[in-house]
Structure 1
Amino acid sequence: MEHTPPPLADLVAHPATERLLIRFSSEGVMQGFRDILRELQRAVMQGHVVDPAAFEADSIVARLESRLAASDDAWLERVVNATGTMLHRGLGQALLPSPATDAIVRAASQPVTLEYDLSQGTPGRREQTIEHLLMDLTGAEGAAVVNNAASALLLSLRALASAKDVLISHQDLSTLSESLDVQEILATSGARLRAVGTTSSVSPADYETAITDATALVLRVHTTPVDDTKSTLMDLVAIGRRRGVPVLEFLVNGALLDLSRYGLPKEPVVEERISLGADLVIFSGEAVVGGPEAGLVVGSARCAGAIAKHGLHRMLQCDKLTIAALEATLRLYRESACIAQDIPTLRAWTRPLHEIEDTASRVLPALVSALGPGFQVSVQDERSRMTDDERSSTIPTKVIVVEHDYLGGYRIAGRFRQTRPPIVGRVEDDRFILDARAIFDPLDMVPNWTDELDG
């Protein structure tokens, strides 16, 4: 018996279609019906065996609803970050301060003076305000901004060392290669990296010996949480001044203020690196600074100016939303009286331990109720990573350890990721851990199960 699908009009008139038209656009619903009808007709014409139920209106409407729901799921989904790591690449790095998100909405929904000078009525430069803010905050003579730190390094090498040598220690080269595609950057920049010293040690004298007429830059990579490299930088600057070679420092976690003032591990402060004589300093807008993703460059007027004016700069420029968010973030650093509260990353890092413990303790009854039998939960002392780099500094925290009679930590973690919104914790020693450091609403750590726990 040959089966034929119902007419399109019958599907539109189906009672369940009204629900689809409320949730989805009429164009999407109509096109979805046409696609399914076409698929059924093609299957029949090609002689495939098709379940007769597939031709019924109920089946077609249900099939379309499932298809539309799947396509409606956003890739960027809100999650609860209970990993304890505020700067988590997989979860979007820094949360932006309120003025930055307000600035993004304004720039996205209204015309703004992105490249327009109101005083003159003429075209302007989109990075001008950002550059002035960076110079104010760091004491540098010049500044430049591009879309990320890798681009900043690429552009710096292209503008200052194309077809010339850049000296870097073996250790720094290894560190840089862990986070950036060094070979691709070199190929695009045209610079030649010359490794200095050995894989285990390097001295200022090694750099001076390696300098030739072809040397254009000395590149340092700063990764250590404790700022114990002042003397090394000063030595390299002295050599660079003597030999006419600029020193560029790439800060993995460059900060705009001294975190040790808040009882946190010290990260390199950009202003200090400039005062020590670095000709250029590159750091990220989205890391310790707590703003949007951007590559920030500060330094001498000559070096920074060469970067800002290079032809490649236009290709690597920030879009208007990044410019808006970055300006708002940098203004907070210049004007806020309570910066540690205004920048979400700093707020979480500087949160008092007793407050974190209170958050964890308050949620225990609701968590026990939601989890059901077989689970054990407890509040314990732990340490949070400040970033997701394995070399990251750690700070004390309070966590909720979730264990089960027979389910391991990874099974429990997977289950927490299935709730809405998904709750992302971490697993250590086969224990599932919810870190309360960055959780300000305790109920965020309570899963909203959609079905029963699998055995």
Structure 2
Amino acid sequence: MSIDQNQLRLLPSIDELLQSSGGAGLIAQYSRGMTLRAIRAALAQARLDIFNGSTCPSSEQLLAAAEQTLQQVMQPHLRSVINATGVIINTNLGRSPLSQEALQAVQQVAGGYSNLEYDVEAGKRGSRHTHVTALLRELTGAEAALVTNNNAAAVLLALSTLAMGREVIISRGQLVEIGGGFRVPDVMRQSGCLLVEVGTTNRTRVSDYEAALSERSAVLLTVHPSNFVISGFTESTPVAALAELAHRHNLLVMDDLGSGCLLDSAQYGLAHEPMPQESLAAGADVVCFSGDKLLGGPQAGILVGKAEILERIAKNPLMRAMRIDKMTLAALEATLRHYQRDEAAQHIPVWHMIAARPERIASRAARWAHKLQAQGIAARTQRGESTVGGGSLPGETLPTTLLAIDAAGVSPSLDDLARQLRMRNIPIITRILRDTLLLDPRTVLEEQDKEVVLGLLEILGDGVK
């Protein structure tokens, strides 16, 4: 009998491990089925290790391995992370964080029953859209409003209603890809409308739209290129000019703004982002935008415009498939209330980050660096730039102060450090530029400062050169 076989014979049985005090504790915490699977996995790994020359682990070691597996299995897959990238509306990290008031509204509505589709005063069925339509009308100046589960759905729903089987005219320079491989031309075709491209990539005049008009024309569509910039020899057609042309020929103008900015971004040192209220004032019949970009709320598609047109869109059978849920409605209403009370920059995280004072950011970065330096870690601060992100204000940046850790100060590598920060219970997402690991306080919630420093100390405390 070989030594491997002797070691294998020493392995406890599954029943022995399940019936032990440690096994009973795991069963009580995780259930018998989960514990059984974890113990089987631990024993399988132990057998493999023995064949590779290791000795038989103790029952305590096997149960510890099973517990580690159970902890990993039970950890939520979708979880909170710390965004230290400096990208404010980070699509991969969930776009816009919600305000505390929005979170409280979601909890209140989701934890019990609600008047989602019930008119309390009349004592009969109501519409879920009434919870936000009055707010949206007030904030944008629209006659009516409608909400869907995302902006692509809003575009699809509107075009399906207003132009199925008919022509929608759009500038070639606005046939954008909105991320994840989804392209505006594909969404348009899916709606059943006929796409008519006019102008060129960099220059499209109102005369180009007029030359393309036919008896089959239904909508002049403009799409704000919110995730890229074309500069130099360019020309685009204002919404007001399109509206004059369209209404002269009994056609409609639809403006897809994408990011949905209700504040003037120029007051924070950024380029002006088109606003729904401006588009409506210029004559657009329907304007659509996202809820989770510059609006700073939950994922939603918002349509505002003329009452007769919005009423037609609301009756589209696709509306049922694209309708917004109660938790999103609660968060959206709470977010819109911030704009109503003129407190968006103070309460909505996205705008709070955009409006953050440079000296405040510098102070936080310096405090992080000081705490690391006190433990012998070669951290420093440096000037840098934050970006808005999320397909909003492309090319625009905000000055910031970064925490910087150079490659020469860590072991084994910056890539390994970044990976270890990502693998924490609360992942910290950073960026690496020119052999330096960078963390931007602008996009880190202030209550997360302690966790950022703790994470770096835990990893770098043993890896300082």
What is the DSSP-based 3-state SS (H/G/I as helix, E as strand, rest coil) of the residue aligned with 1:314?
Answer: helix
1:405 is matched with which residue: 395, 404, 408? Answer: 408
Q: Give the aligned CA root-mean-square deviation in angstroms.
A: 3.2
Corresponding position of 1:46: none
What is the DSSP-based 3-state SS (H/G/I as helix, E as strand, rest coil) of the residue aligned with 1:130?
Answer: helix
TM-score (norm 1): 0.87
Corresponding position of 2:103: 101
Cα deviation digits, residues 154-177 of structure 1 (max 9, x gap): 111111111111111111014558
Corresponding position of 1:61: 63
Corresponding position of 2:396: 393
Inter-partner Cα distance in structure 1 for 2:464 and 2:367 = 27
Query: What is the letter of the counterpart of residue 367 of structure 2?
Result: R
Corresponding position of 2:356: 351
Quote how far apart the aligned CAs of 1:197 are: 0.9
Relative to structure 1, is the Cα distance of residues 316 and 107 closer, same or farther in structure 2, using a 3 angstrom cutoff? Answer: same
Does the 8 Å contact 1:36/1:60 carry over to 2?
no
1:433 is matched with which residue: 438, 456, 462? Answer: 438
Relative to structure 1, is the Cα distance of residues 295 and 54 closer, same or farther in structure 2, using a 3 angstrom cutoff? Answer: farther
Corresponding position of 1:453: 463
Relative to structure 1, is the Cα distance of residues 177 and 211 closer, same or farther in structure 2, using a 3 angstrom cutoff? Answer: farther
Does the 8 Å contact 2:27/2:35 carry over to 1?
no
Does the 8 Å contact 2:38/2:70 carry over to 1?
no
- Comparing 10-19 with 253-262, greater Cα deviation is found at 10-19
Relative to structure 1, is the Cα distance of residues 251 and 183 closer, same or farther in structure 2, using a 3 angstrom cutoff? Answer: closer
Inter-partner Cα distance in structure 1 for 2:189 and 2:251 = 22
Does the 8 Å contact 1:176/1:221 carry over to 2?
no
2:450 is matched with which residue: 435, 439, 443? Answer: 443
Fraction of identical pairs, as percent: 31
**Structure 2 residue 295 is the aligned partner of structure 1 residue 292:** no
Query: What is the letter of the counterpart of residue 449 of structure 1?
Result: E
Match runs of 1:274-313 below 5 Å: 274-313=280-319
Does the 8 Å contact 1:419/1:449 carry over to 2?
no
Corresponding position of 1:92: 94
Cα deviation digits, residues 56-112 of structure 1 (max 9, x gap): 744642442232122122222322211111200111111101111011111211111
Corresponding position of 1:215: 217
Inter-partner Cα distance in structure 2 for 1:344 and 1:288 = 10
Query: What is the letter of the counterpart of residue 328 of structure 2?
Result: T
1:365 is matched with which residue: 370, 393, 409? Answer: 370
Quote how far apart the aligned CAs of 1:386 are: 0.9
Relative to structure 1, is the Cα distance of residues 125 and 230 closer, same or farther in structure 2, using a 3 angstrom cutoff? Answer: farther
Does the 8 Å contact 1:274/1:299 carry over to 2?
yes
Cα deviation digits, residues 289-314 of structure 1 (max 9, x gap): 00000000111112211111111001
Relative to structure 1, is the Cα distance of residues 361 and 94 closer, same or farther in structure 2, using a 3 angstrom cutoff? Answer: same
Inter-partner Cα distance in structure 2 for 1:358 and 1:351 = 12
Inter-partner Cα distance in structure 2 for 1:313 and 1:347 = 34
What is the DSSP-based 3-state SS (H/G/I as helix, E as strand, rest coil) of the residue aligned with 2:366?
Answer: helix
**Structure 2 residue 166 is the aligned partner of structure 1 residue 164:** yes
Relative to structure 1, is the Cα distance of residues 7 and 381 closer, same or farther in structure 2, using a 3 angstrom cutoff? Answer: closer
Inter-partner Cα distance in structure 1 for 2:26 and 2:157 = 50
The total of aligned residue pairs comes to 444
Inter-partner Cα distance in structure 2 for 1:339 and 1:182 = 30
Quote how far apart the aligned CAs of 1:260 are: 2.5
Inter-partner Cα distance in structure 2 for 1:433 and 1:55 = 42
Relative to structure 1, is the Cα distance of residues 392 and 146 closer, same or farther in structure 2, using a 3 angstrom cutoff? Answer: farther
What is the DSSP-based 3-state SS (H/G/I as helix, E as strand, rest coil) of the residue aligned with 2:389?
Answer: coil
Does the 8 Å contact 2:150/2:301 carry over to 1?
yes
Inter-partner Cα distance in structure 2 for 1:392 and 1:52 = 57
Does the 8 Å contact 1:230/1:276 carry over to 2?
no
Cα deviation digits, residues 128-182 of structure 1 (max 9, x gap): 2212211111111111110001111111111111111111111101455886334
Query: What is the letter of the counterpart of residue 181 of structure 1?
Result: R
Corresponding position of 1:253: 259
Query: What is the letter of the counterpart of residue 406 of structure 2?
Result: E
Relative to structure 1, is the Cα distance of residues 153 and 161 closer, same or farther in structure 2, using a 3 angstrom cutoff? Answer: same
What is the DSSP-based 3-state SS (H/G/I as helix, E as strand, rest coil) of the residue aligned with 1:220?
Answer: strand
- Comparing 383-392 with 119-128, greater Cα deviation is found at 383-392
Quote how far apart the aligned CAs of 1:205 are: 0.3
Inter-partner Cα distance in structure 2 for 1:65 and 1:294 = 40
Inter-partner Cα distance in structure 1 for 2:235 and 2:294 = 19
Query: What is the letter of the counterpart of residue 97 of structure 2?
Result: L
Query: What is the letter of the counterpart of residue 361 of structure 1?
Result: A
Runs of 5+ in structure 1 lacking a partner? 44-48
Inter-partner Cα distance in structure 1 for 2:113 and 2:56 = 51
2:26 is matched with which residue: 5, 20, 38? Answer: 20
What is the DSSP-based 3-state SS (H/G/I as helix, E as strand, rest coil) of the residue aligned with 1:386?
Answer: strand
Match runs of 1:334-349 below 5 Å: 334=340, 336-349=341-354
**Structure 2 residue 242 is the aligned partner of structure 1 residue 232:** no
Query: What is the letter of the counterpart of residue 422 of structure 2?
Result: R
Quote how far apart the aligned CAs of 1:315 are: 0.4
**Structure 2 residue 145 is the aligned partner of structure 1 residue 149:** no
Does the 8 Å contact 2:177/2:183 carry over to 1?
no
Quote how far apart the aligned CAs of 1:282 are: 0.8
Relative to structure 1, is the Cα distance of residues 50 and 383 closer, same or farther in structure 2, using a 3 angstrom cutoff? Answer: closer
Quote how far apart the aligned CAs of 1:50 are: 11
Query: What is the letter of the counterpart of residue 443 of structure 1?
Result: K
Corresponding position of 2:200: 198
What is the DSSP-based 3-state SS (H/G/I as helix, E as strand, rest coil) of the residue aligned with 1:257?
Answer: coil
Quote how far apart the aligned CAs of 1:16 are: 3.0
Runs of 5+ in structure 2 lacking a partner? none
Inter-partner Cα distance in structure 2 for 1:33 and 1:277 = 63
Quote how far apart the aligned CAs of 1:355 are: 0.8
Inter-partner Cα distance in structure 1 for 2:369 and 2:165 = 62
Inter-partner Cα distance in structure 2 for 1:198 and 1:85 = 31
Cα deviation digits, residues 313-360 of structure 1 (max 9, x gap): 0100111110111111112211x2432101111111101111111111
Corresponding position of 2:324: 318
Inter-partner Cα distance in structure 1 for 2:414 and 2:213 = 54
Cα deviation digits, residues 409-450 of structure 1 (max 9, x gap): 544433432344222122222322111213324334312526
What is the DSSP-based 3-state SS (H/G/I as helix, E as strand, rest coil) of the residue aligned with 1:219?
Answer: strand
